[in-house]
Amino acid sequence: MYERAVALGEEFRGKGAHVHLGPSTGPLGSNARGGRNWESFGPDPYLAGIAMNASVVGIQSAGVQACSKHFVGNEQETQRTSTTNNGTVIEAISSNIDDRTLHELYVWPFADAVHAGTSSIMCAYNRVNGNYSCANSGTLQTVLKDELAFPGYIVSDWYATHSTDHTANSGLDMEMPGNVSSDAGAAYFGKTLLEAVIGGVVPVSRLDDMAQRVMTPYFLLGQDKNYTSVDPSSGAAFLSYQYGHGSALSSTYPEVAARDVRADHAKIIREIGAAGTVVLKNINGTLPLKNEKNIGLFGNDVPYPTTGSVYLDIGNNPEGFEMGTVDVGGGSGTVRHTGLITPLEAIQKHVNSIGGRVQLLFDNELVAEGSFKTIYPTPDACLLFLKAYSTEGEDRSSLELQWNATKAVESTAAMCPNTIVVIHGPGVVLLPWADNENVTAILAAHYPGEETGNAITDVLWGLVEPSGRLPYTIPRNASDYGTEVVESVEANGDPNAWQADFTEGQMIDYRHLDANNIEPHFEFGFGLSYTEFDMENILDVNVVGGSLSRSANKSMGIAPGGLRDLWTIAAVASVKITNSGNRAGFAVPQLYVSLPQDTTPPGTPVKVLRGFEKLYLEPNESKQVYFDLTRRDLSYWNVEEQQWIIPTGSLTFMAGFSSRDLRSQKQVAVLE
């Protein structure tokens, strides 16, 4: 995670950009169909928090400001901002979240970003409990600036401001304005803000605070000294693909060659792509591939996209483009590829190098129909590449894989008894065909970036040991997942009709399935290796100082991230892991904690992730793994006392290899 962020920071620095608009943990991903889930790190706040910390530190190590986003409750794209209906302004969706859920779920990873030193935080389009995110004093001032002691600046998303004095006084420090000459938005800061200050409706002290917050990261990161100049191609390239070549806007910038800032980053992209691939099924050691020389390569996710190096149809086509591999989602987080190594290119190259042959069929309709007349003889292994597209601006229409995927699997498996399915998708997808006995292996390869072909080839042929684990749950049915996108309302002219009541509280993803005793298809934290691992059934938990006090020591003071004592190590859990297989591989042990149900308020999850590690072990090698737990990790948010509290009773610590594969546990008592 850190190395990825360093590479991102280096590329932004190389382009002369002072701020990277990332990392993202909003949306967290409570709705599996959320269009921007792919931009974030998954629906577990602890995992997202670790990723946010590593990302902020890595980005800013290159001297580039991190802008953590979108704060907060930005869990769907549908009606994410205001619209107009027959002259009536219909307000954006309101995410109505109770105080405890807000703290323990949605704010949690932002606290990690603040603790890591993020320069800025971007507020979201949606409303939170009735007030727009960028003008919400409860979240911006009370939670972010006061409780979390955030010293940086809060910046709005584009068009996310709706007023001047109210927004400024609620805590927004910088506005990203719309184009004042269009109906798309307006600038509420700038001249209008100056008039508000002169008129006395926005205090001068608030303006001073804005300026100090905005400029502090600039000097803190040394951006005032010998910073890289802005790549002169940036404006021209942006305007060309936004407005077209030769337009009045694009022609104001000279067309020059882009500055190449990629360095050797293809290497880390390839490593990340392989590391993020999760092996979901692998019957009888199908993978890694060994002596198979005749390889079938099927599906419309195999070749180079016929749309070219970038797909810019934002919010108008939920299916995405039909022909070509998908390695990145759509919207403002997408990229224009300079070099894209497709599965077709990489696999052909590898198979040719071992003296084999590749048979091809890309058209999903033909595959679904079972039209394999051009395929002979039957391949030793049939690799079927499937995809699901996701983009900013709209939520996914379903959790199904697209382009007739289910029939494509069934037809391929009927012809080929060794069918291996590779999925490129944004997160949760349904796999109704996963139990087909001729589907011998399934890999969730996610959106791996431009080295997608090389990364998946490395995993398929065992050049890299699989280490990916699911950062979400795959349910058997969409209804098993729990939460859903609010897709329509009967507005009838009511400007406040769009309401999303987060009545599920913290029960999202695996927490929801645990609470309702629902069996997942593939659980949170699941992932196979090419070897086997054992975990000692003795879990050791050492409490720092011998006992746990219930509340944090406020005398230690406050720092970015909240009370200092919340970030101190309160306990250390440890367990021994052994590679019991016959080849080296990566183990990913995980630690979960259960708070006592009888001394915590209703709505406490059955268990929550509170630690994970990645260990490389040779056959028969053992290592002890240690999980550091902070006071915050063992606490819940007490709404009445407005502070984090460790409950009385017994805390249960559980270690295993997934949320449902728990091998050892220990209880620790908390005294009154």
Catalytic residue list: 157
Give me the phi and psi of 246, to 5 degrees please: 80, 0
Distance between CA atoms of 84 and 494, rounded to whole angstroms?
11
* Alpha helix ranges (H) inside 117-220: 137, 165-170, 191-198, 204-220
* Alpha helix ranges (H) inside 466-608: 510-515
457 three-class SS: helix
In 9-73, which ranges are E strands?
19-20, 65-71
Q: What is the DSSP letter of 520?
A: P
For residue 66, give every residue at least 6 positions away whose Cβ sits within 8 Å of its Cβ, in sequence order, or none: 19, 20, 22, 23, 55, 56, 59, 60, 113, 118, 119, 120
Distance between CA atoms of 400 and 455, rounded to whole angstroms?
24
Q: What is the DSSP letter of 605?
A: -
Are 361 and 375 in contact, with CB atoms under 8 Å apart?
Answer: yes
Give me the phi and psi of 112, to 5 degrees please: -65, -40
Which two three-digit tokens encode residue 486? Answer: 């609010």
Looking at beta carbons, which pairs linking 342-345 to residues 24 or more positions away fall under 8 Å?
Answer: 342/302, 342/303, 342/304, 342/452, 342/453, 343/297, 343/301, 343/302, 343/383, 343/385, 343/422, 343/452, 343/453, 343/456, 343/457, 344/297, 344/302, 344/303, 344/304, 344/453, 345/304, 345/453
The Cβ of residue 401 has, within 10 Å, a number of other Cβ atoms equal to: 23
Q: What is the DSSP letter of 450?
A: T
For residue 604, give every residue at least 6 positions away whose Cβ sits within 8 Å of its Cβ, in sequence order, or none: 506, 595, 597, 636
Which two three-digit tokens encode residue 577? Answer: 């892991």
Distance between CA atoms of 293 and 356, rounded to whole angstroms?
4
Are 413 and 438 in contact, with CB atoms under 8 Å apart?
Answer: yes
Q: Which burial class, exposed, middle or buried, applies to 609 when counting CB atoms under 10 A from its CB (0-12, 13-18, 19+)?
A: buried
Are 28 and 48 in contact, with CB atoms under 8 Å apart?
Answer: yes
Q: What is the DSSP letter of 229?
A: P
Give me the phi and psi of 358, to 5 degrees please: -120, 130
424 three-class SS: strand
